[in-house]
Amino acid sequence: MVDTRDQGLALETFAPGDMRARIEAYDWAATPLGLRETWSPSLNFAVDMIVASRFPSALRWGSELVLIYNDAYAPMLGERHPRVLGKSFVEAPPTSAADAEGPERAILTGVSGGTVIEDLFLTTIHPDGSVTDGYFTIRLSPMPDAAAPSGVGGVLIALNDVTRRVQAEQALRSSEERYELALQAASGVGTWDWDIVGDRIYADPRYAVFHSVDPERAAGGLPFADYRKAVHPDDFARLLKSGRADLKTTGDFDEEYRLIQADGSIRWVQTRGRVERNAQGWAVRHRGVMVDITERKRIEQALEAAQADLRIAVDAAGLGRWDHNPQTGERLWDKRCREIYGLPDNMIENPLDILERLVHPDDLPSLMDAIRAAMDPANDNTINREYRIRRDGDGALRWLETFGQAFFDDDRCIRFVGVVSDVTERKEAEADQVLREATMALALDAGNVGTWDYDVRKRQLRWSERGYDMFGMTPGADAGLDDFFAAMHPEDREPTRKALLGAMDPVRRAYIDVEYRTIGRDDRQERWISAKGRGFFDEAGKPTRVVGATVDITDRKRAELHLRLLVNELNHRVKNSLATIQAIAAQTFHAARSLPQAQEAFSARIVALAEAHDLLTRENWEGADLLDLLGRLEDLHGGPGRFTTEGGSVRLSPRMALSLSMALHELATNAVKYGALSTQKGQVRIAWTVVPGPVHPRLALTWTESGGPPVSPPTRRGFGSRLIERGLASELSGEAHIDFRPEGVVCRIEAALDG
């Protein structure tokens, strides 16, 4: 709304005239007041009085309280002006307390001598259409009239605009409220007013309480001596000197000092005041405020202590400090920071230029990105980077680490502070550690070694990935100590448990060196494991950890088992071989042969036996392939083209390989001397198949000679024939039959494949 009074259009400035004409022209005969000529002198006087007044005034006349008002009152009626002129109270009821029927009738009847309504808020609509709000004091006064029954003819309504006064009082109250709030918010602010000439200090309750003075007496004024008692002795001399200096000059007073409270506690206060002087320049008054700064002092002291601790920590850690203000260009690199970069003490170079000049080219882009990100208000405003530099001066390659924090005001970076340290030794140690760990990993991998770590207090067992493999578990599976023992062969659990308990015994502290079998939890495979380890103990001697390594020795255990079996087999075979040699010798060196013939036959048979042994030795006495056996036979007795074979690979047991080798050797020797291999065109055909048997498959082999001299059956069976027919039958649970046909010898052999 527009306050027209502030524009020089206050209500009292309206010139009279408009309402006078309206009143004179009005048809009063139609109202309870009757014709104008019949009005009493008192009414005419009252009308003339209000019309002539520049203040908002109105009349309520007669028993009907007919309304008559002046030009200044018209705006108070707003849109109801001028139609309410001459209307009774019933016809024109009031819209505010400025015109109230109850008080007016009390005056009209003589019961009341008048009423005052103070500081009433009213809205005024002016002739130009503007609207203002204001405050008015309304006075309702009786107007005498001898003709009236009560002697009172009407009520005078007079309004006095008190807007400026009310607004001033409101502003004062608001100011006082704000001042009071400021006092409360300022951590115990107190005020004082010292009448220096009369030596009386007038203080508010806060100031008085802080000085251990009765607030009521302080309000009435007390001498300076009553207040000085609370000042801390260590501050009094300084404070007195400062106060005297202020009294001699025109400067302001601003001091911080301690006050001893009634309970003995200490409070820090700050006082600010001003000295007032008379015309002669003498100090006459000293006014000011006091603020409780105890908390601020505590924070400052704590901050000072923290900064001291920080300086000690920074110096002890060898950190360099840096501080930049991007807005002003101010920068600080302390001595240690410059030493880290190898810069002289008087260095004033721009930090960004230093970084571009000294930071390793491979690290510079990421470092600059990190700096820009920290100074961007949209990010977390911190930096933590490691980078390399070529130190100024000596060019040494150094690793540095920096931590920093950016601070902002209205999204502008106003400070960027942090520390930097030389971490070259740590980076070299880390690189060495990585190399050692890589070397260890290669060694563990090459040695097929798994590692384990048992936390005794938590009963947690951690394995390496290879350790999981040794227990037939998926790497990373949840597996503890119970799973460890559950996966162990039942026969090996107790010895292994005793070894673990021995390692955790604070007295024995035994080393773990055990071998045990595991049954894979997931793959169900049996493995042999060798485990070595030791326990670690705390200062009280209690076990904390047991760590160690495991090696899968399954192949070694299998090799040992195989070796034992092989030795046993060899012992058996040696005995058999000696018996065979003994039989060969007995049959070869009989009286029917000459010694040279016997020696030749014996040697050939021993060679055949040796060839079979050699073939089995190459196969670790686990067996031999029939094709390999026939190949060595061809090399020994025939040469290329003399033997033809028909059949596939057949695995022979050691016993069958020896017996079949000796039998084929006898057939080949006889063929070389008398049969197909004694001529250039003769050949030997060897064909075989594997046929089902009642228990094991059976080998069916046929030896067929052709192209040799005619064959006639022998008059008696020699050792070779008996070796083939009887030896195979006894050794191999088989049978052999030699048929001396004229076109060539045919031998059929059938034996069980039991290996």
CATH number reported for the structural domain that contains residue 651 in this entry: 3.30.565.10
* Per-residue confidence band for 656, with pLDDT thresholds at 50, 70 and 90: confident
pLDDT beyond 50 at 554: yes
pLDDT digits (tens, 9 = 90+) for 76-89: 888 888 889 999 88
**Do 500 and 636 have their domain in common?**
no
In this structure, is residue 249 part of a structural domain?
yes
Domain boundary among 552, 587, 619: 552
Grade residue 607 by pLDDT with cuts at 50, 70 and 90. Answer: low
Both 684 and 603 in a single domain?
A: yes
Asked whether 359 and 401 are in contact (CB, 8 A), the reply is no
- pLDDT above 90 (res 187): no
Does residue 476 register a pLDDT over 80?
A: no
Nearest to 653, CA basis, from 728, 754, 580, 510: 754
- Residue 283 banded pLDDT, cuts 50, 70, 90: confident
Q: Are residues 715 and 578 in the same domain?
A: yes
Provide, rounded to the nearest whole percent, the portion of the chain with pLDDT above 90: 15
Residue after which a domain boundary falls, among 136, 167, 198 = 167
Q: Which residues contact 352 (CB under 8 A, 6 or more apart)?
A: none
pLDDT the model gives residue 311: 64
Residue 94 has pLDDT above 90, yes or no: no
Contacts of 375 (CB under 8 A, 6+ apart): 326, 381, 406, 413, 416
| Phi and psi based region of residue 218 (left: phi greater than 0; alpha: psi -120 to 50; beta: remaining) | alpha
pLDDT of residue 12: 39
Co-location of 494 and 376 in the same domain: no
Pick the most confident of 6-15, 308-317, 597-606. 308-317
Q: What is the pLDDT of residue 68?
A: 93
The answer to the question of residue 174 being in a domain is no
Answer yes or no: is 311 within a domain. no
Q: Give me the percent of the chain exceeding a pLDDT of 70.
A: 80
Long-range contacts of 261-270 (CB under 8 A, 24+ apart): 261/210, 261/212, 261/230, 262/212, 266/232, 266/294, 267/210, 267/292, 267/294, 268/292, 268/293, 268/294, 268/296, 268/297, 269/210, 269/293, 269/294
* Of residues 344 and 361, more confidently modeled: 361
Asked if 700 contacts 688 with a C-beta cutoff of 8 angstroms, the reply is yes
Q: State residue 755's pLDDT score.
A: 47
Q: What is the pLDDT of residues 120-167, one digit of tens each?
A: 887 777 767 778 888 888 889 999 998 888 899 999 998 888 888 888
Residue 665's CB is within 10 A of a number of other CB atoms, namely: 24
Least confident of 270-274, 392-396, 636-640: 636-640
Q: Is the pLDDT of residue 548 over 80?
A: yes
Last residue of a domain, one of 114, 140, 167: 167
Do 526 and 579 belong to one domain?
A: no
Q: Is a pLDDT exceeding 70 seen at residue 2?
A: no
Predicted confidence band of residue 366 (pLDDT cuts 50, 70, 90): very high
Each residue's pLDDT tens digit, 258-267: 999 999 999 9
Which tens digit of pLDDT belongs to each residue from 18-59?
899 999 999 999 999 999 899 999 889 989 888 988 889 999
Average the pLDDT over 52-81 and give the result. 89
Q: What pTM value is reported for the model?
A: 0.35
Confidence grade of residue 598 (pLDDT, cut at 50, 70, 90): low
Residues 715-742 have pLDDT tens digits of 766 555 666 766 666 666 678 888 889 9
Q: Is residue 178 part of a domain?
A: no
CATH number of the domain encompassing residue 287: 3.30.450.20
Q: Look over the chain and give the mean of its residue pLDDT values, rounded to a whole number.
A: 80
Confidence class for position 629, pLDDT limits 50, 70, 90: confident
| E runs forming strands in 680-734 | 683-691, 698-706
Same structural domain, 67 and 122: yes
pLDDT score of 687 more than 90: yes
The predicted pLDDT at position 384 comes to 93
- Confidence tier at 349 by pLDDT (50, 70, 90): low
Residue 219 lies in a domain: yes
pLDDT at 9: 34
- Same domain, yes or no: 547 and 685: no
Is residue 206 one of the residues assigned to a domain?
Answer: yes
Q: Give the pLDDT score at 60.
A: 92
Looking at the fold, whether 718 and 738 belong to one and the same domain comes out as: yes
For the chain, what is the domain count?
5
Is the pLDDT reported for residue 576 higher than 80?
no
Residue range 279-296: average pLDDT?
85
- Lowest average pLDDT, out of 88-102, 351-365, 434-448, goes to 434-448
- Contact (Cβ atoms closer than 8 angstroms) between residue 448 and residue 551: yes
Is residue 437 included in any domain, yes or no?
no
pLDDT of residue 568: 66
127 and 208 housed in the same domain: no
If asked whether residues 217 and 99 sit together in one domain, one would say: no
C-alpha angle 163-165-166 in degrees, rounded to nearest 5: 65
Residue 307 is predicted with a pLDDT of: 62
pLDDT > 80? residue 474: no
Strands (E) across 581-697 are located at 624-625, 643-646, 651-652, 683-691
343 and 492 belong to one structural domain: no
| Same domain membership, residue 340 and residue 463 | no
Question: Which range of residues forms the domain containing residue 720?
Answer: 560-752
Q: What pLDDT score was predicted for residue 258?
A: 93
Question: What is the distance between the alpha carbons of residues 116 and 743, in angstroms, rounded to a whole number?
Answer: 165
pLDDT of residue 427: 86
Does a structural domain hold residue 435?
no
